[in-house]
């Protein structure tokens, strides 16, 4: 039984942002939005240009930090400490 999750534009933007972040595991997206890894992949394929999707998939496939079970115990946060605050896919002004 498949559960269809209705997402608005802001939520889709946030999921794309989280999917691109190296330290944000798919489990965090599941907890926050109810989308499993395969659903995130489908969303990314639908929302991104084909070339951007290929770059994202290549980046994610070998990344241990995207999967909570295979990430190191020393990784305990979702984003890099040097990353700027982001809201609605625009870098916030300081």
DSSP 89: T
Residue 56 CB neighbours (<10 A): 17
Q: What sign results for the dihedral spanned by CA atoms 23, 25, 38, 35?
A: negative
| pTM as predicted | 0.67
Which residues are bridge partners to 86 per DSSP? Answer: 91
* C-alpha distance from residue 68 to each of 5, 31, 89 (Å): 23, 12, 24
Domain layout of the chain by residue ranges: 6-67
Distance in angstroms (rounded) separating the CA atoms of residues 29 and 63: 16
> Residue 41, class by beta-carbon neighbours within 10 Å (0-12 exposed, 13-18 middle, 19+ buried)?
middle
Q: What is the pLDDT of residue 34?
A: 92
- Show pLDDT as tens, one digit a residue, over the chain (94 residues): 455 678 899 999 999 999 998 888 888 899 999 999 999 999 999 999 999 999 999 988 877 767 655 555 655 555 555 555 555 545 444 4
Residue 40 CB neighbours (<10 A): 20
């Amino acid at each position: 039984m498949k559960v269809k999750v209705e997402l608005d534009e802001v939520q889709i933007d946030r999921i794309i942002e989280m999917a691109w972040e190296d330290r944000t595991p798919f489990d965090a997206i599941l907890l926050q939005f109810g989308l499993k890894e395969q659903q995130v992949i489908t969303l990314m394929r639908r929302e991104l240009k084909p070339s951007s999707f290929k770059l994202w998939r290549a980046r994610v496939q070998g990344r241990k930090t995207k999967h909570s079970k295979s990430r190191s115990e020393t990784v305990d946060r979702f984003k890099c400490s040097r990353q700027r605050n982001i809201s609605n896919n625009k870098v916030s002004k300081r």
